Amino acid sequence: MDLGLKGKRAIVTGGNRGIGRCCALTLAREGARVCITARNQERLDAVIHEINDAGGEGHAVAVNLTTLESCQKVVSETVERFGGVDILVNCAGAARGGDILDLSTELIDDALSLKSYSYLRMSQLVIPHMSQNGWGRIINIAGGAGTSPSSGNIPVSLANIAILNMTRALSDAVSKDGILVNTICPGLTNTQRARDVQQASADQAGKDVEELLQELGNELPAGRIAEPEEIADVVAFLASEPCSYIFGSSIYMDGGGRRGTP
Ligand SMILES: NC(=O)c1ccc[n+]([C@@H]2O[C@H](COP(=O)([O-])OP(=O)(O)OC[C@H]3O[C@@H](n4cnc5c(N)ncnc54)[C@H](OP(=O)(O)O)[C@@H]3O)[C@@H](O)[C@H]2O)c1
Residues 109 and 209 in one domain: no
1 part of a folded domain: no
For 184-223, the pLDDT digits (tens) are: 999 999 999 999 989 989 999 999 999 999 999 999 999 9
Tell me the helices (H) and strands (E) count for the chain, helix number first: 9, 7
68 part of a folded domain: yes
Q: Which domain holds residue 125?
A: 9-187+227-252
Q: Whose CA is nearest to atom 42 of ligand 1?
A: 14
Residues 60 and 115 in one domain: yes
Ligand 1 near 188 CB (within 6 A) = yes
Residues 98 and 36 in one domain: yes
Rounded distance between C-alpha atoms, residue 170 and residue 25, angstroms: 26
Residues 20 and 105 in one domain: yes
Please state the atom number of ligand 1 nearest to the C-alpha of residue 20.
Answer: 16
Ligand 1 near 255 CB (within 6 A) = no
For 47-83, the pLDDT digits (tens) are: 999 999 988 999 999 999 999 999 999 999 999 999 9
* Total domain count, the chain: 2
Residues 132 and 173 in one domain: yes
Residue 169 Cα to ligand 1 midpoint, Å, equals: 24
Residues 155 and 209 in one domain: no
Beta-strand (E) ranges in the chain? 9-13, 33-38, 57-62, 87-90, 136-141, 179-186, 250-253
